Amino acid sequence: MKHHMVLFLLLAIGFAGGLSADEGEKDVALVTAVNGKVVLLQPEGETPLSLGMRLRAGDEIRVDQGSAAVVFLTGEYLALESGERLTLGETLDQSMLSDGSATRGVGPDESMNVAADGVDAGPDDEMWQTQLASVSGIRADVTVIAVSPRLAVSDPLPTFFWYDADGVSTGGVKQYTLLLRDAEGKTILRERVSGYGGALNSYRPGTMPAGFNAAERWHYTWTVVPDGQADPQGTLDAGFVYVDNAGLELAALQRKRYAALRESGSLDASSYHMLLARYFLDERERLFSDAVLHLVALAGEPAGEEYARGELARMFLRFGNQVSTIAPKMIDATVKLGTP
């Protein structure tokens, strides 16, 4: 009995010591853009840098050829070019930049704050809670799944995403009917749209119908059915609601600010989509549907597909019901992503 007690105490002490060491290694930055040959140097070795990597103090980025960008979790954005090396400190001010001839601190004119409230790095290899992904909510007869928008949204002109589980009909364009109904069940949009089997498809209307109001707490439901199928009755598959007025205003400010930085050339395309995706995915905002558009765009960026698929899978689990069936396929990278 005494031997067991001593062993238990030793294990407990060792485990506690391990925790205190891990707690000291916190994330300090997020990789938002990678183009060309860029590597990450850590004590355990050298690996190619990829989009979405979470960086810690002591990590070093070396841009052999191309470019890269990181955003510190405190909000500072820093772009790197060929020949530059960045050694990360716990803050931007404590980081060191080398151009091959000299090593120095990062100057105030070399970075800019893009998130005054900081950046959410996202979950660290953890799935979203899956309480909404009830197996009983998955209908076996559904082949076309309305994916997003769901839950709370802020985009005044949302992009509609759906997944066609038909993996047999490949290569050819398929036709669908997209239906949008208001809170009273009235159909306010009936549009013929195109897509592919076995793919995550998308459609963004040029304008919304007169009966659509992108205002706080307005509810809508929508679905997509194969061409020629009768319109379903009652409440449609996917429901969404516009957030409160404060949330709408903050989201609009974020979109406007990042768009202006992108248009001026101060922000690269990958970082633009990453910053908006992280803003919408932030648990403080929970505008998950608004992030889908930007995650799909990130999937088309160099070194970005793995990150985008993982984030989409986590979201689809969070949405639940039929959408949760897509998550394993997204993780296994078997679903073709279409660009809106």
Give the pair of three-digit tokens for residue 22.
């891990």
Q: What is the pLDDT of residue 1?
A: 46
Q: Name the strands in the sheet holding 160-164, side by side, starting at the edge strand that comes first in the sequence.
A: 144-148, 160-164, 199-203, 336-337
Q: What is the pLDDT of residue 29?
A: 96
Q: What is the pLDDT of residue 238?
A: 92
- pLDDT mean by block of 10 residues, the chain; 340 residues: 42 40 72 96 92 94 96 95 94 90 78 88 61 43 84 96 77 89 94 91 93 96 93 89 96 96 95 96 91 94 88 85 82 75
CA separation for the pair 33, 50 (Å, rounded): 8
- For residue 133, the number of C-alpha atoms closer than 13 Å in the C-beta half-sphere is 18
Q: What is the pLDDT of residue 69?
A: 96
CA separation for the pair 52, 37 (Å, rounded): 16
Nearest to 202 by CA among 226, 228, 183, 176: 176
Q: What is the pLDDT of residue 64?
A: 95
Pairing of the two strands 103-105 and 54-56:
unpaired
CA separation for the pair 181, 62 (Å, rounded): 52
Burial 270-306 (b: 16+ CB within 10 A, else e): bbbbbbbbbbbbbeebebbbbbbbbbbbbbebebbbe
Q: Where are the domains of the chain?
A: 26-113, 123-340
Element (H, E) at 33: strand 27-42
Element (H, E) at 298: helix 288-299
CA separation for the pair 158, 167 (Å, rounded): 27
Q: What is the pLDDT of residue 339?
A: 60
Measured N-to-C along each axis, helices 269-281 and 305-319 cross at an angle, to the nearest 10 degrees, of 20
Query: Where do we find the tokens 């995403």?
Result: 161
Whole-prediction pTM = 0.86
Per-residue DSSP letters for 266-280? SS-HHHHHHHHHHHH
| Positive or negative torsion for Cα 113, 271, 153, 150 | negative
Give the pair of three-digit tokens for residue 296.
């799909």
Is 2.60.40.1930 the CATH classification of the domain at 123-340? yes
CA separation for the pair 188, 181 (Å, rounded): 5
Residues 163, 176 contacting (CB under 8 angstroms):
no
- How many residues comprise the chain? 340
